[in-house]
């Protein structure tokens, strides 16, 4: 049995803890607030700000974990190098977490060092730099904080009139102590995918079937698998995903995002060194192992020979229409109890407007229409009310 220190305890962390405990592991779940979803199923909990390096050191010293798994961005990531030197395994690696928690580091690695195709981009720490960068890239363009999550601080800028709001919103949406923005050229793509990529101690890199997804305001609303795409585009996405994950080093599941243009090809977008929110569709039984089980096996060094597609699937999120410090209640759960449908309520202790509170999962046979499966997931998710 290994002791795993989980840094971040949201709904993705909760599913990881379940996967780890099914393999007999001991998990300490950490977050900045009590009763976070993963804490409800973990062996122990710690409540502190992971941006406080001294507090993070104290928790590591207290528990002496064998493995550290990072589930969120807001971590004093440079301390992870020290933990690796102490013999603690960081998943996927300290280098990977440090690079990918900051859009500047990962974008420069992908575009400048590895030569992957990306949208053109600039950085800005001041409003004047933002204006200059947007003028060079043209409109529309995308403005994002260098460190954020779930689309916070992200804006579509249609003209110079939108820049002041984009700057203020981007800075306000920044996580951690990095107050810098990235301005990206708007890529006219036909669709976007998440390519879940598994790296392993034995050196074998495996890919899950591509996941299509729909985002609003930079946050995921639905996902579906497998997304049909041209073989040459899939091969190129796999080539790029393998290149960037090898450069970052380590073993685990990675959520690698791409824009796909039928005429211009594959654009690398972003990467997460952990289970991806769009990958919750794998909880519908679409694969022989879901993304959390894959991440856990890689963390433990358990080799996996192959990833097999078993069924088609779709996920649709349940959002909160209210903000309240009181525990949420739910109506309509019984309305989701149809054949080939499942439901996850994450157990978040409070609500805020448009907070993701649960997900509906629907699966179907491989010969079934993916559009029908998607429609069913969205229909059932709309029946659940948070109040």
Asked about 257 being catalytic, the answer comes back as yes
Catalytic residue of the set 46, 73, 184, 257: 257
Catalytic residue among 100, 118, 149, 150: 149
* Catalytic hit among 95, 274, 311, 356: 356
Q: Where are the alpha helices (DSSP H) in the chain?
A: 11-22, 53-63, 79-85, 94-100, 103-108, 127-137, 163-172, 231-248, 291-300, 370-381
Backbone φ and ψ for 38, nearest 5 degrees, come out as -70, -25
Q: Which residue is catalytic, options 277, 291, 293, 342?
A: 277
Tell me the helix, strand and coil percentages in the chain, rounded to 5. 35, 30, 40
Instruction: Give catalytic status of residue 54 as yes or no.
Output: no
Active-site option among 151, 218, 285, 332: 151
371 has catalytic annotation:
no
Tokens of residue 123, six digits: 């950085």
Residue 352 annotated to the active site: no
**Active-site residue, from 43, 108, 270, 335:** 270
Please tell me which residue in 150, 278, 286, 315 is annotated as part of the active site: 278
- Asked if 149 is an active-site residue, the reply is yes
Told to judge if 277 belongs to the known catalytic residues of this protein, a careful annotator would answer: yes
Q: What 3-state class would DSSP assign to 248?
A: helix
Catalytic residue numbers read 149, 151, 257, 270, 277-278, 356
């Amino acid at each position: 049995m290994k002791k795993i220190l989980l840094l971040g305890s949201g709904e993705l962390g909760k599913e990881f803890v379940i996967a780890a405990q099914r393999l007999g592991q001991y998990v300490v779940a950490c977050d900045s607030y009590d009763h976070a979803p993963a804490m409800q199923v973990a062996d122990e909990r710690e409540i502190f700000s992971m941006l406080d390096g001294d507090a993070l050191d104290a928790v590591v010293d207290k528990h002496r974990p064998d493995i550290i798994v990072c589930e969120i961005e807001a971590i004093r990531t440079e301390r992870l190098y020290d933990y690796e030197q102490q013999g603690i395994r960081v998943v996927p690696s300290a280098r990977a977490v440090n690079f990918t928690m900051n859009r500047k580091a990962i974008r420069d690695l992908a575009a400048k060092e590895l030569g992957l195709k990306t949208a053109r981009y600039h950085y800005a720490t001041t409003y004047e730099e933002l204006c200059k960068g947007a003028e060079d890239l043209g409109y529309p363009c995308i403005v994002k904080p260098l460190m954020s999550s779930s689309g916070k601080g992200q804006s579509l800028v249609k003209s110079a009139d939108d820049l002041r709001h984009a700057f203020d919103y981007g800075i306000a949406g920044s996580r951690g102590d990095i107050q810098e923005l990235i301005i990206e050229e708007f890529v006219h793509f036909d669709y976007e995918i998440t390519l879940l990529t598994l790296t392993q101690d034995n050196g074998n890199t495996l890919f899950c079937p591509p996941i299509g997804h729909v985002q609003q305001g930079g946050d995921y609303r639905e996902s579906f698998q497998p997304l049909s795409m041209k073989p040459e585009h899939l091969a190129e996405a796999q080539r790029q995903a393998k290149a960037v994950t090898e450069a970052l080093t380590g073993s685990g599941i990675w959520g690698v995002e791409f824009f796909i243009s039928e005429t211009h090809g594959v654009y690398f977008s972003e990467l997460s060194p952990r289970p991806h929110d769009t990958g919750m569709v794998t909880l519908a039984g679409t694969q022989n192992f879901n993304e959390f089980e894959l991440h856990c096996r890689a963390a433990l060094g358990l080799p996996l020979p192959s990833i097999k597609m078993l069924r088609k699937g779709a996920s649709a999120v349940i959002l909160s229409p209210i903000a309240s410090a009181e525990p949420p209640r739910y109506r309509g759960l019984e309305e989701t109890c149809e054949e080939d449908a499942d439901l996850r309520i994450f157990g978040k202790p409070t609500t805020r407007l448009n907070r993701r509170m649960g997900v509906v999962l629907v699966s179907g046979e491989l010969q079934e229409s993916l559009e029908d499966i998607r429609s069913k997931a969205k229909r059932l998710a709309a029946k659940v009310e948070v109040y």
